[in-house]
Structure 1
Amino acid sequence: MEIEKMMLSVLRNLVFVTLIMGCKAAKAEEFNYNGVRGPSHWGDLKEEWKTCGQGRHQSPIDVIKRDIEIYPNLGKLHKSYKAANASLVNRGHYIMVRWAKGAGTIHVDGTNFTLRQCHWHSPAEHTIYGRRYPLEIHMVHQTEDNRTAVIGILYKYGRHDTFLAELMNQMSALSHEMEPEAEETLGIIDPKQIKLGSRKYYRYTGSLTTPPCTEGVIWIIVDKVRTVSRDQVRNLVMAVHDGFGRNARPTQSENGRIVELYTPRYGNSKNHN
């Protein structure tokens, strides 16, 4: 009889814990990339997210070269990055390297934007002539008045990426943490390890690619497609709590926006392969 009571008590506790964990998970998962909380529904989930459905200048987009205007006067992208303390954070929908106090700046339109974090989307969110690559990194910069500029770099399968290679051990440990915003200290991380590979870049005005989809974001997409190994992409996908192996928002309508191309030498950009 006592044993039965003990078993019943344990069962009740297990049910209680399961319910609590279920509530936490439901609360943490405010949006995802499929089903009723997927991208086509983001604008309906919260009033403050309505721009996701109603905005006219949304991201990502398909970069179609025939619609691009060459702007040699945009000038070289001026970066002034520095190594700084960072942490690795699992946001549930992507893995992020966060520099709490910033890691240097980029200079855009006469303004310095401080590098705050970088994160990955698989597959890539921006496409080139309709082609979607397996990975994209977003380097997110902000001003003190919360203006945002993002550098996007696309990756195809090939040799491993050296920046990701240094993070794999911590990323593996983080994948076992089920708490929202699980975090691992990285120590000093130098963002200059993230190689752009080209001075050419596309630029347009868009939005955040996750809710609340805020517009007015300056997007800078590097022209060169870099390489990443299949194992690295697989590890990134496995580390994300979402679990479906995809965290890319579909491309959005350009709605008449101009995509500008900076190239040091006036002429057409090379074809991607």
Structure 2
Amino acid sequence: MKKNWRVCLSSMFAIFLVVSATGCNSQPATSKTTNTSSSTISNAHAVVQKSPHWSYEGDQGPEHWGELEQDFAACGNGQEQSPVNIEHTHLEASHTQQPLQVHYTTAKASILNNGHTIQINTAGPGNTIVVDGTRYTLKQFHFHHPSEHQIDGKNAEMELHFVHQSDNGRTAVLGVLIQRGTENKAFNSIWSKLPKDTTSQDAALEEGINLASLLPKDLHSVRYNGSLTTPPCTEHVNWTILEQPIKMSADQISRFATIFPDNHRPVQQLGARELTADK
């Protein structure tokens, strides 16, 4: 009996030592906070997230966005999602669609790498577009590699998105496809400041940006109702895709691709939506 008592006491002492050691080595749990508001355009690529809770690959990639958070549900079950494949055989000529009006000037701007793209924030209310009678003010523009929208099943090298908001909170995005070609000097002031790593805040660009020079001369467009192409994939976004692309040199494209090898969402089903073209 005395021997069994000593064995029991020895075992209890060993267990006590293990529990004590485990408690000393444990780390306190950390919590992550994210901004998932779907009501403001500032969250479309705008929030810098040190530990991004969505990405363009793996378990947090586009096919899983709708599962990651309740606020992202539209990414998985939305009926009017973007981007789409613009097939010319599906284009319908609109007799009521008004020509796109672009009122862009030279603007002060700042640049950041938000972990998902390079974003340029513009200051002031002076740069606007008018889409079918509604005026939208430019808030920011950013880039995707390769393009998100397809033309007849083919992606362009890159795509540029100008994100706007109306006075009543509606969102309109102007998309410009980028093909490989000659150097585009209009982007030199931006490309000279491309942040390679995620930045905690945007940095002012010394030179103002001539926004009109970033667009092609021909503003004929295709329009459709869609969504943001990043979480939360909010719908009721007015999309305008210019038919004429702009060009960038292979070096310019490569410099962006080095930072973001692939930051595009695959095309979504068009469904019953119409693709309307200018007359």
**Which residue number in structure 2 is paired with residue 79 of structure 1?**
102
**In 2, distance between residues paired with 1:179 and 1:96?**
11
Match of residue 186, structure 1, among 197, 205, 208: 205
Q: Deviations over 1:248-270 (max 9, x none)?
A: 0000000110000003xxxxxxx
**Which residue number in structure 1 is paired with residue 132 of structure 2?**
109
**Which residue number in structure 2 is paired with residue 254 of structure 1?**
270
> Structure 1 residue 205 and structure 2 residue 225: aligned?
yes
> Structure 1 residue 35 and structure 2 residue 61: aligned?
no
**Which residue number in structure 2 is paired with residue 156 of structure 1?**
179
Q: Deviations over 1:64-94 (max 9, x none)?
A: 1111101143122111122222101111110
**Which residue number in structure 1 is paired with residue 82 of structure 2?**
59
SS at match of 2:155: coil
**In 2, distance between residues paired with 1:109 and 1:34?**
37
Going from structure 1 to structure 2, the CA distance change for 1:77 and 1:179 (only over 3 Å counts) comes to closer
Match of residue 226, structure 1, among 217, 221, 246: 246
Q: Which moved more, 1:29-38 or 1:231-240?
A: 231-240
Match of residue 235, structure 1, among 255, 260, 271: 255
1:62 and 1:128 in contact (8 A); partners too = yes
Going from structure 1 to structure 2, the CA distance change for 1:26 and 1:87 (only over 3 Å counts) comes to closer
Match of residue 120, structure 2, among 97, 101, 119: 97
Structure 1's consecutive aligned runs of 4 or more residues displaced over 4 angstroms after TM superposition are 22-27
1:124 and 1:135 in contact (8 A); partners too = yes
**In 2, distance between residues paired with 1:115 and 1:26?**
23
**In 1, distance between residues paired with 2:55 and 2:185?**
29
TM-score by length of 2: 0.79
> Structure 1 residue 168 and structure 2 residue 191: aligned?
yes
2:109 and 2:122 in contact (8 A); partners too = yes
1:113 and 1:142 in contact (8 A); partners too = yes
**In 1, distance between residues paired with 2:54 and 2:198?**
17
The unaligned stretches of length 5 or more in structure 1 are 1-19, 264-273
- The code of the aligned residue for 2:269 comes to S
Larger Rg: 2
Match of residue 49, structure 1, among 72, 78, 103: 72
2:105 and 2:212 in contact (8 A); partners too = yes
Q: Deviations over 1:66-123 (max 9, x none)?
A: 1110114312211112222210111111001101334411112322100111100000
**In 2, distance between residues paired with 1:208 and 1:23?**
22
- The code of the aligned residue for 2:71 comes to E
**Which residue number in structure 2 is paired with residue 136 of structure 1?**
159
TM-score by length of 1: 0.80
SS at match of 2:254: helix
**In 2, distance between residues paired with 1:239 and 1:231?**
13
**In 2, distance between residues paired with 1:218 and 1:132?**
21
The structural deviation recorded for 1:190 is 2.3
Going from structure 1 to structure 2, the CA distance change for 1:185 and 1:71 (only over 3 Å counts) comes to same
> Structure 1 residue 88 and structure 2 residue 106: aligned?
no
- The code of the aligned residue for 2:113 comes to N
The unaligned stretches of length 5 or more in structure 2 are 1-29, 35-47
**Which residue number in structure 2 is paired with residue 68 of structure 1?**
91
**In 2, distance between residues paired with 1:26 and 1:78?**
35
Q: Which moved more, 1:158-167 or 1:111-120?
A: 158-167
